[in-house]
Amino acid sequence: MKSSSLVLAAALTLAACGNANSSKAQEGVFAEPNSRQVPGSAMEMKSSFAPVVREAAPAVVNISARTVQTVRDPYFQFFGGGMPQQRVAESAGSGVIVRSDGIVVTNNHVIENAQAIRVVLNDRREFAARVILADERSDIAVLQLEDVTGALPVLAIDDQEEQEVGDLVLAIGNPFGVGQTVTNGIISALNRTETGISDSGSFIQTDAAINPGNSGGPLVDMDGDVIGINTAIFSRSGSSAGVGFAVPASMVRRVVDSALGGASSVVRPWLGVKGDSVTADIARSLGLDRPQGLIVTELYAGGPGARAGIQDGDVITAVAGQEVNDQGGLNFRIGTHSPNDTVAISLLRDGRPVTVNARVQPLPGDTKVVPETIRRGSFAGAEAAVLTPALADRLGGDPFAQGVIIVSAPRGTYASGNGFQRGDVVLRVDGRPARDLAAVTQAARGSEVVIQRQGRIMTGRVS
């Protein structure tokens, strides 16, 4: 678990079926969500969660991931010597079987950089596992258990997003390594985006107790279906404070479908739209009865949004019927779709509701950095690459940004001597946009250079 104010904690979960006897599950395919009904009275609710747990618990697993780290003895390192030593480290988390032939979902941070992964079922059977796909951005990883014989118990994923604040939920996992544990609570909020966990996440918030070791375990509704992945907790102590966050099942389904489709990464489409949340002041200026939606401030030329007819000043209120109120929410909703899907975008234009259909597509450009060494000028010696929307997004930047990114600036080069660093994005040189490497090579003594460094815009002259 990561120890900060936001501690990654629980996990992804998809599904196939809550009934081990289903013929679909035996064939290794996803099953339909359970038809079990929510308790119909307070008496039924108080009675027991046991029927739901009985269905769900067999498909929840414990995961142990072993990594080998190279370290030096700090005493000898202080004196500049000492032989490096290898240290074995293990991380423990949870997961959920989503297909009867051994497809398991867990958190990426549970298995990251692991040399060996061991999965233990609720009935104490053990399997080795390999990673099919690991998506750092959503913190979701998909595993395949090795040497599976027979159909394994599975859970169904319910990605219909019909949940409401106040619905009862269960979190199942292996907190603190004590063994499988079930905690209950309610959904305390939906569509949480400003959490600091991800720039494209929209989370289910729950007060079900989630602690270190729950990572990878499912958030289950009263139908016995997986509705999300407990992926983080807000805590100052590192333990549950009653505020946990789960990745909605729609995103989990997207990652699993990518893995089972043979992809090595999740290709996220985009709309090519940038905007600001509608505040109370903006709502009054637009004549809206309340603050809602995202006001469009920028459109990518030729992007899906522009081609669909979205205009500057439009207020986006929903994507495929799901409410949107900020940029993170828009990114998430678009990201749950597959590239080339046609998606209904609900707008307010001049106070009137409008719906347009946008064909969402992958961000343009290459996601790989292909650096070139700059041979002359104030950036000489640096390795740099021209930003594309796809590359900027992969690096965690703004896809709308145009510039040249410094991939490396080794010591002793002109670039390093002039104060440029790895990760700097050169935006302008002498007032001209840096759209290619040729623009950067023009920088000389006295040139005014504008760069972006760790989110800050900095202007200076080359000395």
- What are the strands, taking DSSP E only, across 108-161? 116-120, 126-135, 140-145
Q: Identify the active-site residue in 135, 139, 167, 326.
A: 139
Classify 393 as helix, strand or coil.
helix
- Strand partners of residue 449: 429, 460
Q: How far apart are CA 255 and CA 268, in angstroms?
A: 10
Q: How far apart are CA 36 and CA 47, in angstroms?
A: 16
Concerning whether 215 is annotated as a catalytic residue, the answer is yes
Q: How far apart are CA 381 and CA 376, in angstroms?
A: 8
Concerning whether 139 is annotated as a catalytic residue, the answer is yes
Tokens 């080359």 — which residue? 462
Q: How far apart are CA 373 and CA 327, in angstroms?
A: 35
Contacts of residue 409, Cβ cutoff 8 Å, sequence gap at least 6: 381, 382, 383, 415, 416, 420, 421, 422, 424
Give 3-state DSSP helix, strand, coil % of the chain, rounded to 5: 15, 35, 45
Concerning whether 109 is annotated as a catalytic residue, the answer is yes
Q: Identify the active-site residue in 215, 240, 250, 378.
A: 215
Q: Identify the active-site residue in 22, 64, 109, 326.
A: 109
Q: How far apart are CA 426 and CA 192, in angstroms?
A: 33
- Taking the CA atoms of residue 144, residue 150, residue 153 and residue 158 in that order, the dihedral angle to the nearest 10 degrees is 60
Two structure tokens written together for 117? 């992964």
Q: How far apart are CA 158 and CA 94, in angstroms?
A: 19
Which residues are tagged catalytic?
A: 109, 139, 215
